[in-house]
Structure 1
Amino acid sequence: MLREETATSLDRRAAALAGLRAYQAFRRGRAHRPAPARFRKGTARLRDYGAKGGSGRAVIFVPSLINPPHILDLAPDISLLRWLAQQGHHPFLLDWGTPPPKARGMDVTAHVERVLLPLIAKFAEPPVLVGYCLGGTMALAAACIAPVAGLALVASPWTFAGFGAAARGEIAALWTAAKPTCESMALVPMEVLQAGFWRLDPARTIGKYETFAAMDPASPAARRFVAMEDWANAGAPLPYATGRQLFEDFVGNDMTGAGLWKIGGKAITPTAIPCPAIEFVSRNDRIVPAASAANLPDRHDLGAGHVGMIVGGSALNQVWEPLSGWLNALPQPK
C-alpha cells in the first residue's frame, strides 16, 4: 500500500516511513487506567464511570467488538465518559474483554443475547443505551428486546448496502483470503480487521504518517495522534463466528438493512424501537458511511469523522453536548 500510494514521490515515501518510525519510538507515559468493574458477564465487564461523579440514570455505552473500548475514555482530558459524569449523568462502559477459545461459536447475535441483555437486566431501572460503531448495531437490537429508557447511536452501521459495491467487494475479497486461516484458528485476528480499515482509505493511512513526521513530539497534537493510533492498532481478536456473521451476513448480505436479523424469533428493525431514540451520523465517515445509518427520525448529520465524533476537536460541540442535552430531556423514572 505504501508503494502504491507513493509510487510517484520517493520524498513522500521517506516522510511516511519517518513518521512511522517516530510513532514507534514515541515515549509513552503510564497507561490510562479504566474505571472499576461494577458487573461481570463471562469475560465482559461493565465499568462504572459515575462512581465519583454523576449519580443520575444509568447510561450504558456499548462500543464496537472491534478495537478496545477505551476510545470513549482515551485520556484524562479526552474522555466522553468522564465528561458526562461531570454533567451529572451516570455512565457505564461495556468492556467486552478477550474471548476465550470456547467462544468460537459466539457471533454478533450471541453477544447481544448472552452478554448485553443479561447486563442490562442487572439494573433495577431501565438504563439508556448509547452505541458506538458496531456497538450501536448491537444496542439497537437490545433496545428492541429489553426494556430500556432510550437509545442513542453514534456512527453506527445498519444498512450495510450503504457501504457501496466497491467497499463491500474489497471487504469480501479480504474475508475470502483470510477465512481459511481464521477458521482454523477459531478467531479473527485484529490484523485482518486493521488491514481492511487501511484499505478503506489508503491515501489517508499513508498521509497521516507523513504529517506526523513533521510534528513536534512534545506537542498535544502528537500525544493525541499516538493515543489514537495505539487504540486503532490494538484490540482483542474476534471469535470466528463473529467475524463470519459480520463479513458474510451483515456486510455481504445486508441482513440488518433487509430486515432479516432476528434474535429469539423477534425481527430487529429500527421501526421496532419502543423507546426515545437519537442518531448521530457523520457525513464524511470513511469507515461507516452516512448511507449505512439506521436513518432514525431524530437524525443529526455532522461534519466530524468516525473517530473524530468521539475524540476530535469538534466532538464537544457536535456530539458530547447534544448527547447530554438529549439525556437530560428523557422522561425521568417514576
Structure 2
Amino acid sequence: MLRSESGGDQERMRRALAGLRRYQEAERRPPLPLMPAVAEAGGAVLRDYGGEGSPVLFVPSLINPPSVLDLSEERSLLRWLAGRGHRVLLLDWGWPDGTRRKLSVAGHVEQILLPLMGGLGERPALVGYCLGGTIALAAAQLGGVRSVATIAAPWRFSGFPDEARSRLAGLWARSKPTAEALGVLPMEVLQSAFWSLDPARTVAKFEAFAYAEDDKAGDFVALEDWANDGPPLAGAAALELFQHLFGEDRPGRGEWLVGGEPIDPTLLPCPFLNVVSTVDRIVPDASAAPAGERLELDLGHVGMIVGRRARDALWEPLADWLSRTAARC
C-alpha cells in the first residue's frame, strides 16, 4: 500500500516509515478507568457514565473498542454529555465468546441490545456510531425508544464506491476460510478493510506525524491505538456484514430482517437524527439512511467524534437535540 500510494517516491516512503516508527516508539498515556457495569447480556455490558434524567444509550460499532467515545478527559463525548444533565450509558460489546461467535449482526440486536434495553425500566434514547448506528436503527424499530440518533452510520451499502465494495468482497473471499475455522474474523483483517477504504489517508497521516509537534503526539497515538485495537468480529456477524450488507445491500433494499421484521428507517415511530459527513471516506454520505432529520458535517469519520471542532459541530447539537426530543416524549 505504501509503494502504491507514494508512487515510488522515496522521500514520501521515508517520511511515512519515520512516522510509523515514531508511533511505535511513543510513550502511551494511561487509559481512562472503565466505568462501572450495571447490566450484562451475552458477555456485553452496559457501563454507567452517570448524569441525570432518562437514559441515553450509546451503541458503538462491533469493530474497534468503544473507547473512541471516551478517548481522554478532554475528548470524551460520553463524560461531557453526562455533565450536561443526561444519564449516559455505553454498550461495551466485550469479547465474542463461544456462544457469541454464532451471532449475526442482527443477532446482536436481538440477543444483546434489546434485552439490555428492556432491563432499563424506561424507554431510552439510542445513539449509534458507525455500524452501531445501523444496529441502533433496528433496535429503535423493534424495541420502543424515545428517540434514535445515528452518527456516520451506513444503511444503503450500495452508496459505497464500487471499487471499495469490490475490494471488501475480495478481502472477505480470502478471509472467509479463516473466519470459519476460528469462529471469528481477526481484528487485523478488519483493520486492513478500513485501510482499503481510504489508503491515501492511511499513508498521509504517518507522513504528517513524522514531523508533528510534540504536543499533538499524544492525541495521535491514543487514536491510532484505538484504531488498531479491539476484539475479533464474531464469524456469523462477519459473514452478514460482508455478504449480506456490503455485498447484497439488504438494508438499503428493505430486505434486512431483524427479529423477523424488515427494518425500514422511514417508518420509525420516534424522532430520528441522522448525522452524516460530507467528507467521510470510511462511511460516505451516500450510504446514509434516506430518513430522519439530517445534520451534515464537514468532518471526517473520527474527527466528528474527537476532533478539535467536534464539540461545536456535533456534541452541542446532539445534546440540544436529545434535550428537545426528551421534552416532547
Both structures adopt the same fold (TM-score exceeding 0.5)? yes
3-state SS in 2 of match to 1:284:
coil
Partner of 1:263: 258
Per-residue CA distance 1:148-173 (angstroms, 9 max, x = gap): 10000100000000002111111101
Which residue is equivalent to 1:35?
Answer: 35
Q: How far is the alpha carbon of 1:197 from its aligned partner?
A: 0.8
Give the equivalent residue in structure 2 for 1:155. 152
- Which of 216, 239, 244 in structure 2 is aligned with 1:244? 239
Aligned with residue 277 of structure 2, among 272, 276, 282: 282
Query: What code does the residue aligned with 1:249 have?
Result: H
Instruction: Note if contact 1:104-1:186 (Cα within 8 Å) is conserved in structure 2.
Output: yes
CA separation in 1, counterparts of 2:125 and 2:111?
A: 19
CA distance in 2, matches of 1:211, 1:5: 14
Is the aligned partner of 1:108 residue 2:105?
yes
How many residues align? The count is 329
Q: Is the 8 A contact 2:29 2:218 kept in 1?
A: no
Q: Would the aligned equivalents of 1:72 and 1:79 in 2 still touch at CA under 8 Å?
A: yes
Deviations 1:241-278 (A, max 9, x none): 00000000000000000000112222211122111111
* Residues 42-79 of structure 1: per-residue CA shift (max 9 Å, x gap): 210100001xxx21110000000000001100001100
Letter of the structure 1 residue corresponding to residue 308 of structure 2 = G
Q: CA RMSD in A?
A: 1.2
1:180 correspondence with 2:177: yes
Which amino acid is the alignment partner of residue 45 of structure 1? Answer: V
Q: CA deviation at 1:215?
A: 1.6
Report if the CA contact (8 A) 2:23-2:221 is conserved.
yes
TM-score, structure 2 as length reference: 0.98
| Aligned-partner Cα distance in 1 for 2:328–2:16 | 53
Which residue pairs with 2:325 in the alignment?
A: 330
1:198 corresponds, among 195, 200, 221, to 195
Give distance in 1, aligned partners of 2:196 and 2:323. Answer: 40
In structure 2, which of residues 158, 162, 174 is the aligned counterpart of residue 165 of structure 1? 162
What code does the residue aligned with 2:11 have? Answer: D
User: With structure 1 as the length reference, what TM-score do the two structures score?
Assistant: 0.96
Q: What is the Cα deviation at residue 333 of structure 1?
A: 8.3
Say yes or no: does 1:6 pair with 2:6: yes
Distance across 2 between alignment mates of 1:124 and 1:16:
51
After TM superposition, what 4+ stretches of structure 1 lie above 6 angstroms from structure 2? none
Structure 1 unaligned regions, length at least 5: none
Q: Distance in 2 between matches of 1:332 and 1:204?
A: 41
Which amino acid is the alignment partner of residue 320 of structure 1? W
* Amino acid paired to 2:277: S
Kept after mapping to 2: 8 A contact 1:125/1:333: no
Distance in 2, matches of 1:32 and 1:15, equals 31
Give the AA of the match of 1:48.
D
Partner of 1:83: 80
Q: Give yes or no for the alignment of 1:47 onto 2:47.
A: yes
CA–CA separation in structure 1 for the residues paired with 2:43 and 2:289: 29
Indicate the larger mover: 100-109 or 245-254.
Answer: 100-109
What secondary structure does 2:57 align onto?
strand
Cα contact 1:105–1:240 (8 A) shared by 2? yes
Q: Which amino acid aligns with 2:60?
A: P
Partner Cα separation in structure 2 for residue 71 and residue 265 of structure 1: 32
Whether contact under 8 Å (2:152, 2:275) holds in the other structure is yes
Contact persistence 2:29–2:222 (CA under 8 A): no
Distance 1:190 1:265 in 2: 30
What is the CA–CA distance in structure 1 between the aligned matches of 2:292 and 2:99, rounded to whole Å? 40
How big is each residue's C-alpha offset from its partner over 1:154-210, in whole Å with a ceiling of 9 and x where there is no partner?
000000000021111111011111111111111100111111111111111111111
Establish whether residue 68 from structure 1 lines up as the match of residue 69 from structure 2: no
Distance 1:330 1:297 in 2: 13
Please state whether the residue corresponding to 1:330 is helix, strand or coil. helix
Percent identity over the alignment is 51
Q: Alpha-carbon deviations, 1:213-257, whole Å to 9, x = none?
A: 10233x0x2111111100000010011100000000000000000
